[in-house]
């Protein structure tokens, strides 16, 4: 598998090619094209009147329900003829994706606007379950050039804009400043995981916490955050389409993670949400989304520090993945609902509202003109998250574009970190699984 291909070119081919139905075999939503597949790119909204009521499906990323309600109230004040119904469509990205898939299959009960995560929205692009936003962007004069380029371009494929960034994040290194001080450690994140491994015994001895570090919950997080560990050792889930999870570098990175739990016994594995475990004082440090920042600051009874993700023995910078979600408009609802949804989407992502959303959650402000002065004065930790954007790295193709791969990575990580399985054997098995997905469901779409 030495085929290399630019990720944007791949998506252009995938969108134009046939055979999307095969992707459904790998878990997650079906990717069989829907009835609107041949016409969604040609929607004309001239003369359309916005619907009087729309449903906005959210999982309230970063515990954002209150700020979502507040923004909706402001929207109602500006557009009293359009009612936005905020629907809790799941507790996480996976649940909201499954609910969206169920509504698609039933061809009823679809939302007008929906939260789409980094590893799920691509399937909806493939089966054209979401519409391109270009005609709406033009009609409503949405200022795309004011969005942070790296964030808005994540949804720009086949020459079209398929979603707008919403709850965009990176992982952050969170640490208990009080524990670090008690252990005589510097008030900063470690530069490398090797440095933290040297600190861990001191933290356990001085802090009284159960663990020096809490690995994030594996479901939904393993494939994302472990890229940091893998990249730091020169490995990865993949390099382009070469699956590299069983390379010597990748195995070394995951062996070190396993040793932190079993051999050296300074780390635990969160069963649900490491941010909550950290805020409760169970561990002196953890990795979690920037979207967890405000919740941690509110819940923790200690001084919270944040920093860039640690590097490894081979690579010390550029080891942080981006992630999070955008907002898309389904193809299976009326033009009137689509227009009303686009008006609300535009309002949600206005500079003032993106600043309010960031202040309430810790997610990245998606607009460059958003005035973050008051936010940063109150929560200066957000500046660390914003600064880390400059040293992020595009996620591995294997996680972002192989359907069902994220779940397979989580299963493999669970074997390694909760069952003490042999790392090399587990990664060899995972490689075979990922190559099978690539060979069957992706490679047929690629042109040499």
244 lies in the same domain as 255: yes
The sign of the torsion formed by the CA atoms of 188, 193, 195, 199 equals: positive
209 lies in the same domain as 193: yes
**N-term to C-term CA, the chain:** 12
377, part of any domain: no
E strands present in 323-387? 323-328
Tokens of 205: 């001895």
96, part of any domain: yes
Least confident stretch, 193-207, 233-247, 357-371: 357-371
Candidates 162, 163, 133, 165; CA nearest to 148 is 165
342, part of any domain: yes
> Predicted confidence band at 41 (pLDDT cuts at 50, 70, 90)?
low
The mean pLDDT value for 306-325 works out to 95
417 lies in the same domain as 340: no
334 lies in the same domain as 312: no
Whether residue 236 has pLDDT greater than 80: yes
pLDDT digits (tens, 9 = 90+) for 263-280: 999 999 999 999 999 999
182 lies in the same domain as 299: yes
409, part of any domain: yes
Kindly report the average pLDDT of the chain as a whole number.
88
Alpha carbon 343 to its chain's center: 24
Integer Rg of the chain from CA:
22
Tokens of 15: 């969108």
413 lies in the same domain as 275: yes
440, part of any domain: yes
141 lies in the same domain as 234: no
314 lies in the same domain as 349: no
Global pTM?
0.81
Paired with 117 in beta bridges are 325
123 lies in the same domain as 244: no
Number of compact structural domains in the chain: 2
284 lies in the same domain as 213: yes
- CATH number of the domain at 440, please: 3.40.190.10
State the residue range of the domain holding 109: 33-168+324-370
89 lies in the same domain as 185: no
On whether the CB atoms of residues 269 and 419 are closer than 8 A, the answer is no
On whether the CB atoms of residues 360 and 67 are closer than 8 A, the answer is yes
pLDDT digits (tens, 9 = 90+) for 137-162: 999 999 999 998 878 888 887 788 99
Three-state SS annotation for 406-429? HHHHHHHHHHHHHCCCCHHHHHHH
């Amino acid at each position: 598998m030495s085929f290399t291909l630019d990720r944007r070119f791949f998506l252009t081919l995938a969108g134009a090619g046939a055979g999307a139905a095969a992707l459904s075999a790998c878990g997650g939503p079906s990717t069989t094209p829907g009835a609107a597949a041949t016409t969604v790119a040609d929607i004309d909204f001239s003369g359309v009147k916005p619907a009087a009521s729309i449903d906005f499906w959210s999982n309230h990323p970063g515990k954002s329900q209150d700020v979502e309600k507040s923004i909706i109230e402001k929207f109602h004040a500006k557009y009293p003829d359009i009612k936005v119904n905020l629907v809790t469509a799941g507790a996480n990205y996976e649940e909201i994706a499954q609910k969206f898939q169920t509504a698609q299959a039933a061809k009823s009960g679809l939302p007008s606007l929906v939260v789409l995560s980094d590893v799920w929205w691509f399937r909806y692009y493939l089966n054209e379950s979401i519409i391109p936003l270009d005609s709406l962007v033009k009609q409503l004069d949405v200022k795309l050039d004011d969005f942070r380029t790296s964030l808005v371009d994540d949804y720009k494929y086949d020459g079209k804009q398929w979603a707008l960034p919403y709850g965009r994040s990176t992982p952050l290194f969170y640490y208990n400043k009080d524990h670090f001080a008690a252990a005589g450690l510097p008030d900063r994140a470690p530069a490398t995981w090797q440095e933290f491994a040297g600190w861990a015994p001191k933290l356990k001895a001085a802090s009284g916490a159960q663990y020096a570090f809490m690995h994030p919950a594996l479901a939904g997080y393993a494939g994302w955050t472990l890229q940091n560990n893998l990249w730091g050792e020169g490995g990865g889930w993949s390099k382009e389409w070469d699956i590299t999870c069983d390379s010597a570098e990748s195995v070394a990175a995951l062996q070190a993670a396993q040793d932190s739990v079993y051999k050296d016994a300074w780390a635990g594995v969160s069963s649900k949400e490491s941010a909550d475990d950290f805020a409760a004082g169970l561990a002196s440090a953890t990795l979690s989304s920037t979207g967890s920042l405000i919740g941690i600051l509110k819940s923790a009874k200690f001084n919270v520090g944040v920093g860039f993700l640690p590097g490894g023995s081979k690579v010390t910078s550029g080891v942080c993945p981006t992630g999070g979600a955008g907002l898309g408009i389904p193809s299976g609802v009326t033009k009137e609902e689509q227009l009303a949804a686009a008006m609300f989407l535009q309002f949600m992502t206005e500079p003032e509202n993106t600043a309010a959303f960031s202040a309430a959650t810790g997610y990245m402000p998606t607009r460059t003109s958003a005035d973050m002065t008051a936010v940063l004065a109150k929560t200066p930790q957000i500046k660390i998250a914003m600064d880390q954007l400059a040293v992020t790295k595009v996620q591995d193709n294997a996680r972002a574009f192989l359907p069902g791969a994220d779940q397979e990575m989580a299963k493999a990580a669970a074997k390694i970190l909760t069952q003490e399985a042999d790392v090399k054997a587990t990664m060899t098995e995972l490689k075979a699984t990922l190559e099978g997905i690539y060979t069957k469901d992706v490679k047929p779409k690629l042109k040499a």
